[in-house]
């Protein structure tokens, strides 16, 4: 009797395996004792079989039919990927209310809240200010402690050219005797002089002694 080996393949459904067995029986009839002269065929999904040479041709045809059926069967669908989830948290406030990102921005916002406050020589807030007192008070709200006078403030931070001014930069004018905070659009936010409240005034390049940036 020849040897018979069976190798299972999970890709072949039970129904196909049943058809293979039935086809083999139909093609070969009742399995007779296999003579010494035998041929080996491979049945996809089942393994190798030793059969009498007289049944080799129909068995090979059956094997080819099974291979074609397996090749034509659709592949198992890939597991669906999870749809992207929206962020767990979305900002509820518009960018208008975003927190300033540097000391200059914070100081400028603080100084804006004092527009209309009265000028008073030597005053540093919170109700009245002189020029350097307003700058010192505004930067204190940003956690930065500046010296008291405009001359001393002209040496803090890093120098900035007029064309590179950004809102929040310190600008010293009047030969070093006056200081304010650049507000953008060619305007200086400052405590101007006695009788004039904290306000915006025009700023020209020829007025600037030095400009400083606090980082």
* Residue 108 sits in the same domain as residue 203: yes
For the residues 147-160, what does the mean pLDDT come to? 98
Instruction: Check residues 92 and 173 and name the one with the higher pLDDT.
Output: 173
What are 119's strand-pairing partners? 129
* Residue 52 sits in the same domain as residue 108: no
Q: How many domains does the chain have?
A: 2
Question: What is the residue whose two structure tokens read 């039919």?
Answer: 65
pLDDT of residue 93: 45
Instruction: Check residues 194 and 17 and name the one with the higher pLDDT.
Output: 194
Region for 202 from its dihedrals, namely left if φ exceeds 0, alpha if ψ lies in -120 to 50, beta otherwise: beta
DSSP letters of 87-119?
PS----S-GGGPPPSSHHHHHHHHHHTTTTPEE
* Residue 58 sits in the same domain as residue 160: no
Tell me: pLDDT of 213 over 70. Answer: yes
For the residues 46-72, what does the mean pLDDT come to? 71
pLDDT of residue 14: 52
Q: Which two tokens stand for residue 209?
A: 């002694």
pLDDT of residue 194: 92
87 in a structural domain: no
Which segments of the chain does DSSP mark as H helices, in order? 14-28, 56-72, 103-112, 131-140, 150-153
* Residue 110 sits in the same domain as residue 198: yes
Q: Which domain holds residue 149?
A: 101-213
Tell me: pLDDT of 96 over 60. Answer: no
* Residue 111 sits in the same domain as residue 203: yes
pLDDT of residue 118: 97
In whole angstroms, give the CA distance from residue 213 to residue 203.
17
77 in a structural domain: no
* Residue 174 sits in the same domain as residue 130: yes
Tell me: pLDDT of 159 over 60. Answer: yes
Tell me: pLDDT of 77 over 60. Answer: no
| Helix, strand, coil percentages in the chain from 3-state DSSP, rounded to 5 | 35, 20, 45
86 in a structural domain: no
We report the CATH number of the domain holding residue 115 as: 3.90.1720.10
Last residue of a domain, one of 57, 72, 87: 72
* Those residues with Cβ within 8 angstroms of residue 152's Cβ, 6 or more apart along the chain or in another chain: 146
In whole angstroms, give the CA distance from residue 44 to residue 52.
19
């Amino acid at each position: 009797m020849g040897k018979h080996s069976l190798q299972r393949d999970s890709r072949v459904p039970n129904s196909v395996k049943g058809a293979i067995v039935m086809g083999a029986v139909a093609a070969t009839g009742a399995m007779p004792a296999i003579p010494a002269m035998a041929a080996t065929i491979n049945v996809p999904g089942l393994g190798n079989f030793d059969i009498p040479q007289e049944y080799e041709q129909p068995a090979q045809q059956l094997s080819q039919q099974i291979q074609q059926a397996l090749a034509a069967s659709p592949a198992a669908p890939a597991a669906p990927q999870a749809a992207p989830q929206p962020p767990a948290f979305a900002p509820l406030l518009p960018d208008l209310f975003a927190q300033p990102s540097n000391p200059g921005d914070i100081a400028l916002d603080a100084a804006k809240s004092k527009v209309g406050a009265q000028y008073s020589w030597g005053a540093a807030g919170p109700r009245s200010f002189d020029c350097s007192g307003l700058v010192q008070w505004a930067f204190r709200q940003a956690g930065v402690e500046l010296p008291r006078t405009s001359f001393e403030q002209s040496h803090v931070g890093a120098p900035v050219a007029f064309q590179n001014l950004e809102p929040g930069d310190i600008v010293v004018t009047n030969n070093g005797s006056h200081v304010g905070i650049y507000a953008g659009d060619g305007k200086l936010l400052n405590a101007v002089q006695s009788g004039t409240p904290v306000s915006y005034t025009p700023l020209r390049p020829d007025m600037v002694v030095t400009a400083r940036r606090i980082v």
